[in-house]
Amino acid sequence: MPITMLRGLVRLLKKRWFLSALGVAVSLGFTVRGIAPAIPRDAPVAVFMFTMFCIGLTATPSALLRALTNWRATLVSLGFGYLIAPAMAFVSGWVLLDPESDLFRGWILVGCTSTTISSAIVYARSAGANATLALVLSNISSVASPLMTPVLVGLLLSKQIDVPVAPMMKTLFLSVLAPVLLAQVVLVVAARMVAPLRVYVGVFSQVGILLIVFMSMARTFHLAPPVFYRELPGVVTVLVVLSVALYAAMSTGSYSAARRAGLGAADAVAVAYASGQKTMAVTVVLADRFFSPVAAVPILVYHLTQLVCGELDSGFYRRRIDKGEGQPGAGPDDGRSGTVSRT
């Protein structure tokens, strides 16, 4: 029995290699935290710009425009991502965290940030949902982030600190929107040259995220006060509880709202994953640049939690779709064929 369980664990780690690599990145960040002073402060932003350029290559302009015609899915996804999630993060964080702490500020960042494209696509595909819709909704969330995230963070933290909304917008515009727009231009003017490379952009973007996590964690563990390590077990426990509650509410709530809006199960599941799966790269960069490295801890815990939850609820959503709840007339091009590159 132990050997069978070990083999099953190995198969899972091979299937979800990013989860294993994320653990390695965090461990290395802690082990070699002494190199933190040698890491340029702008290095995570530079790597993030490259990562967003790769992500921008995953959705063509025509796909983005087609998604906008599915206005119900877009409104539900953006509504939950930029209204419900920030409100829930603020209330839950106010109850269970110190509102004056960097952990609270980091938790607010989690609620206000955009969708992670990689997880949304992977789990939508695993559940047999409309992976193409999940991809495009995640891209739309990223495009909206330079405006929505700084404004929301500024509103929710205005009584605690003076949030640099304008510099935050500038950082997100240069590191998120500009690379994505550049990628769209490249797709238009050099589509044939880029086509063979799109198979690899998912790996490139995930490697970039791992580098960002490594650099940010090295800074976190290097600069954190000694009391941070003594309180870490309790902090992680609270953050796990908050993360599970937020993810469950976002996933089930957005799915139910999408179904009530008239979407089939395949599209509603895509909306759920494009609402509950939050990006780690954006939050880590903002936490490190505008708050403190400790503020990056909540998104790390949330990201690990959402990966586990995604594994668990993909089977549940697949059963809902297999019961015939998908949209009538869904054919092989509805995004469920698994042809979307993993990003």
Q: Give the pLDDT of residue 13.
A: 52
CB 280 within 8 A of CB 303: yes
Looking at beta carbons, which pairs linking 161-170 to residues 24 or more positions away fall under 8 Å?
Answer: 161/105, 163/290, 164/290, 167/290, 168/286, 168/290
What residues are paired with 115 via a beta bridge? 278
Q: How large is the average pLDDT for residues 242-248?
A: 95
pLDDT score of 84 more than 90: yes
Q: How large is the average pLDDT for residues 151-165?
A: 86
Q: Give the pLDDT of residue 338.
A: 37
pLDDT score of 151 more than 70: yes
Report percent pLDDT > 70 for the chain.
Answer: 85
Q: Give the pLDDT of residue 15.
A: 60
pLDDT score of 29 more than 70: yes
Q: Give the pLDDT of residue 183.
A: 86
Q: How large is the average pLDDT for residues 146-174?
A: 87
Q: How large is the average pLDDT for residues 87-111?
A: 93
Q: Compute the distance between CA of residue 144 and CA of residue 138 in angstroms, rounded to an integer.
A: 10
Could you tell me the pLDDT band of residue 227, with boundaries at 50, 70 and 90?
low
What is the pLDDT of the chain when averaged over all its residues? Answer: 81
Could you tell me the pLDDT band of residue 296, with boundaries at 50, 70 and 90?
confident
Q: How large is the average pLDDT for residues 31-47?
A: 81
Q: Which of 7-16, 202-211, 233-242, 296-305 is the least confident region?
A: 7-16
pLDDT score of 343 more than 50: no
CB 343 within 8 A of CB 58: yes
Q: Give the pLDDT of residue 75.
A: 92
CB 137 within 8 A of CB 277: no
Place of tokens 């960042």: 109
pLDDT tens per residue across span 309-319: 887 888 889 88
